[in-house]
Amino acid sequence: MSNVTLEAEKPDAPEQNPRHDIKIRNARILVVDDSDLIRELIGACLMTDGYYNICYAENGRDALEVIELETPDLIILDLEMPVMDGFELCKELRSRQETASIPILIQSGRDTAADITRAFDYGASDMVVKPIKKFEILARTKVHLEHRFFVEKLTDFHDRVASELEQARKLQLDICPSEEELASFRNLYGLDIGWHYEPSSELGGDIGGLYPIDETHVAFFIADFSGHGVAAALNTFRMQIWLSSLSKDYKEPDKILQKLNNFLNKNLKRGSYATMLFGCIDLAAGSLSYAAAGTQPPLIQNGDSDPQFVLCSSKGMPLGLRPNWEYELKTIPFTVDSKLILYSDALVEVEHLLGEFLGDEGLKDEVNEIWQQDIAPEERLPELIRRFHMRAGATADDDLTIIYIENTGNTDGP
Amino acid sequence: MKDSVTTTDGRLTIALSEKLTFEDHNNFRELLKLVNSNEHRSCTIDLKDLETIDSAGLGMLMIAFETAEKAGMQFQLAKPQGQVEKLLEISEFDKVMSIAH
């Protein structure tokens, strides 16, 4: 057992942040020592600095009981004690999740390299050697409490943001068409639609949608806002609102893009934009009209003529970059048995061969291979997705959207 | 992104290499100060060694063009390759600015 030296008061400390100070002063500190005298002296020491929430224990076992009642913010711990010593207690506390991160300040007369190493090995945060010097123990107490509260604050903040991002991801999933909606397109229009949306670990800017216009017209779109994160994700929700205000123009995709472009040009940050393809299927005419603004080229297979999927042009200035841009309207056949695949860049910007992206040409070959395989039609889109995951692994850092539309020509409706 | 800047006879050339992505936002803004400095007659962004570009990078190139346009400078993108070339093409940047292949 060693003695304690209470030094003369030091000159005034510099001003502290008062709010922060209150939190530190309210901290619960557990002093564990088998000597009544040392416990009292350390307690008195702490009280001179404004700490009042102090509890005591005589040995490790006793300390565990006190901790059980209320978890302390800091433990000042002697090493040599009967029943359960300081090493044992350290080890025990570090093995329990709820106490694993409590700072433990060792005060001990044992100061050999072996003792110090062992204490740190068992999970001590810091060590002061007896004789205890008041200002040393107060300074270290403060450092460890500050550290604990900062980490706590950061962890809380991190957890809150993570949970909010998770909710946002769910909301993005919610705006995708449901299975029932997709089934209704099959029944009413004879359109077989497959929809796959996978948000990335960060929030992303992919969005797509379907709009029934009248008995023979269905509009659809796929869009991707530049950048990642909250701003891109929030813009996907704004896109829905803008588009719903343009419903009278759904049969004129070029007009939709012109209006959206000017709107985004006024409202997005400079250099931000959205790529988009807006299309309208005319089932009576067996045609598809679309306008594009720099999206990935869609894959189209025309039921009548060619059994192969081909890449169609999707060139166009991304929306929002240049004001008053004119978009071209393209009209192509989309007769019975025609198929269309729209996709976001994640699908092709994935490593195929070493250091080489799959690219749109690579995707075209792959789609042709899958669609000519002898597998059930409903297995084709899942097969495409399965192959994507094989390449991307768990590292996908961009949203993935794939929309498949097939004109079956059969409606179940009256 | 890595960059190297050269000036000859009032012509500014910024050569970019590796990747131009969202993370390069601040560095790119520094480069734009050169475009905006009124010390040069023309600006060429050399993309020969730029391997990939993301959507934020594409936006930055448009900002560079607009900055030069405002300053009354000639502006050109030079020698885009691979994915960079493809993205510029699909986005019709050639309809707005000069791209030398």
Identify whether the C-beta of residue A209 lies closer than 8 Å to the C-beta of residue A172: no
Average pLDDT over every residue of A324-335: 96
What CATH number is associated with residue B48? Answer: 3.30.750.24
In this structure, are A62 and A137 located in the same domain? Answer: yes
* A contacts of B96 (beta carbons < 8 Å): 317, 322
In this structure, are A180 and A242 located in the same domain? Answer: yes
User: Please, which pLDDT band fits residue A21 given cuts at 50, 70 and 90?
Assistant: confident
Q: Which of A226, A297, A357 is closest, CB to CB, to B56?
A: A226
The H or E element that residue A180 is part of is helix A179-189
User: Please, which pLDDT band fits residue A333 given cuts at 50, 70 and 90?
Assistant: very high
Q: Which of A388, A375, A208 is nearest to A298 (CA)?
A: A208
Shortest Cα–Cα distance, B32 to chain A (Å): 13
Name the residue with higher pLDDT: A414 or B32. Answer: B32
> Is residue A170 left, alpha or beta, with left meaning phi > 0 and alpha meaning psi from -120 to 50?
alpha
Q: Which of A227, A315, A316 is closest, CB to CB, to B56?
A: A227
User: Please, which pLDDT band fits residue A349 given cuts at 50, 70 and 90?
Assistant: confident
Q: What is the pLDDT of residue A11?
A: 47
Q: What is the pLDDT of residue A56?
A: 97
Integer Cα distance of B57 and B60 in angstroms: 5
Interface A:B, Cβ pairs < 8 A: 50
**Residue A319 corresponds to which tokens in the numbers above?**
């929306």
Q: Which domain holds residue A19?
A: 4-164
Q: What is the pLDDT of residue A185?
A: 95
Structurally, how many domains does chain B consist of? 1
Q: With a cut of 70, say whether residue A9 has pLDDT above it.
A: no
What CATH number is associated with residue A101? Answer: 3.40.50.2300
CB atoms within 10 A of CB B50: 26
In this structure, are A118 and A201 located in the same domain? Answer: no
Would you tell me the crossing angle of helices A18-25 and A134-174 to the nearest 10 degrees?
100
In this structure, are A60 and A203 located in the same domain? Answer: no
Q: What is the pLDDT of residue A20?
A: 62
pLDDT per residue of chain B (101 residues) written in tens, 0 to 9:
899 999 988 899 999 999 998 889 899 999 988 888 878 899 999 999 999 998 889 999 999 999 999 989 999 999 999 989 999 999 999 999 999 98
* A contacts of B60 (beta carbons < 8 Å): 271
Q: Which residue has the tokens 């020592």?
A: A33
Contact B96 A317 (CB under 8 A): yes
Contact A271 B83 (CB under 8 A): no
Q: What is the pLDDT of residue A214?
A: 95
Q: What is the pLDDT of residue A109?
A: 86
Mutate: best of B18, B20, B91, partner A, most A CBs <10 A: B91
Average pLDDT over every residue of A96-125: 91
Burial of B45 (0-12, 13-18, 19+ CB in 10 A): buried
Q: What is the pLDDT of residue A17?
A: 58
Mutate: best of A312, A313, A321, A399, partner B, most B CBs <10 A: A321
Of A164, A198, A233, the residue that ends a domain is A164
Q: What is the pLDDT of residue A12?
A: 52
Within a domain: A213: yes
Within a domain: A169: no
In this structure, are A73 and A113 located in the same domain? Answer: yes
In this structure, are A270 and A403 located in the same domain? Answer: yes
Q: Is B21 on the interface with A (CB under 8 A)?
A: no
Q: With a cut of 80, say whether residue A3 has pLDDT above it.
A: no
**Residue B57 corresponds to which tokens in the numbers above?**
């990078």
In this structure, are A71 and A220 located in the same domain? Answer: no
Contact A321 B55 (CB under 8 A): no
Within a domain: A413: no
Burial of A79 (0-12, 13-18, 19+ CB in 10 A): buried
Average pLDDT over every residue of A162-166: 87
In this structure, are A158 and A194 located in the same domain? Answer: no
In this structure, are A343 and A223 located in the same domain? Answer: yes
Q: Which domain holds residue B78?
A: 2-100
Q: What is the pLDDT of residue A7?
A: 47
In this structure, are A353 and A317 located in the same domain? Answer: yes
The per-residue b/e assignment along A316-345, b for 16 or more CB within 10 angstroms, e otherwise, is bbbbbbbeebebeebeeebbeebbbbbbbb
Mutate: best of B90, B94, B96, partner A, most A CBs <10 A: B90
Contact A228 B22 (CB under 8 A): yes
Contact B58 A224 (CB under 8 A): no
Q: What is the pLDDT of residue A110?
A: 83
* B contacts of A228 (beta carbons < 8 Å): 22
Q: What is the pLDDT of residue A412?
A: 65
Integer Cα distance of B84 and B55 in angstroms: 11
User: Please, which pLDDT band fits residue A230 given cuts at 50, 70 and 90?
Assistant: confident
Structurally, how many domains does chain A consist of? 2
Average pLDDT over every residue of A206-231: 92
Of A117, A136, A164, the residue that ends a domain is A164
User: Please, which pLDDT band fits residue A1 given cuts at 50, 70 and 90?
Assistant: very low
